[in-house]
């Protein structure tokens, strides 16, 4: 039973306990989570996947990521912005993704909004909410990792004000963690500070 601190992984290196349940998680934890992500399409993908994850386990999304990429035109904003109601109906029948009508509609609607933004605008907006790392203590246990922060609340409000949907403060914070705006790898974790 873990006390929420970093635990040895299959290779003996310490990792965040959530990352140890499957090889998929180990790879995601070590190679992606918490590493800086830039680019409007890349950030749009992560924002969409975090929204689809709401109410589900991340492993469900992670294992269907290639299905999501195929279904949503590689998360190219310009291409998804051209999706029609017929495309949304097609997606509702796609077993390679989570078939949630509201989340699918939000993914398409968000692309339509973002297609009107200047190149780099989404990247700049998201990264403008990155907190100063010097002001953040290194989490020692999972209990030290928040679900929302003032920065994620501000990011959520900024995205909603600009017309995006399914971008609440918890989703915004998960995005910040996944895309390296914050480093929530636990103290002693092999991936801490690897970005």
Q: What angle do CA 167, 192, 182 make, to 5 degrees?
A: 25
Q: Left if phi > 0, otherwise alpha if psi is -120 to 50, otherwise beta: which for 97?
A: beta
Say whether 50 is catalytic: yes
Say whether 44 is catalytic: no
Q: Left if phi > 0, otherwise alpha if psi is -120 to 50, otherwise beta: which for 63?
A: alpha
Q: Which of 18, 32, 58, 117 is catalytic?
A: 58
Q: Which of 28, 32, 88, 117 is catalytic?
A: 28
How many whole angstroms separate alpha carbon 184 and alpha carbon 145?
A: 7
| Backbone φ and ψ of 8, nearest 5° | -65, 135
Q: Which of 33, 44, 45, 50 is catalytic?
A: 50
| Backbone φ and ψ of 37, nearest 5° | -120, 130
Q: Are 45 and 75 in contact (CB under 8 A)?
A: yes
Say whether 88 is catalytic: no
Give the residue numbers marked as catalytic: 28, 50, 58
């Amino acid at each position: 039973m873990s006390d929420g601190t970093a635990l040895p992984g299959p290779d003996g290196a310490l990792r965040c306990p959530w990352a140890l349940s499957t090889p998929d998680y180990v790879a995601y934890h070590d190679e992606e989570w918490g590493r800086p992500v830039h680019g409007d399409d890349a950030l749009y993908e992560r924002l969409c996947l975090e929204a689809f994850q709401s109410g589900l386990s991340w492993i469900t999304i992670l294992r269907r990521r290639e299905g999501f990429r195929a279904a949503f035109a590689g998360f190219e904003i310009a291409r998804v912005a051209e999706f029609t109601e017929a495309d949304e109906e097609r997606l509702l029948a796609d077993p390679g993704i989570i078939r949630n009508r509201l989340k699918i509609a939000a993914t398409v609607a968000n692309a339509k909004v973002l297609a009107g933004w200047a190149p780099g605008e989404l990247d700049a907006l998201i990264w403008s909410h990155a907190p100063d790392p010097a002001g953040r203590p290194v989490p020692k246990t999972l209990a030290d990792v928040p679900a929302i922060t003032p920065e994620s609340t501000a990011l959520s409000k900024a995205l909603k004000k600009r017309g995006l949907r399914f971008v609440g403060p918890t989703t915004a914070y998960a995005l910040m963690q996944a895309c390296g705006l914050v480093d929530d790898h636990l103290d002693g974790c092999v991936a801490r500070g690897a970005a």
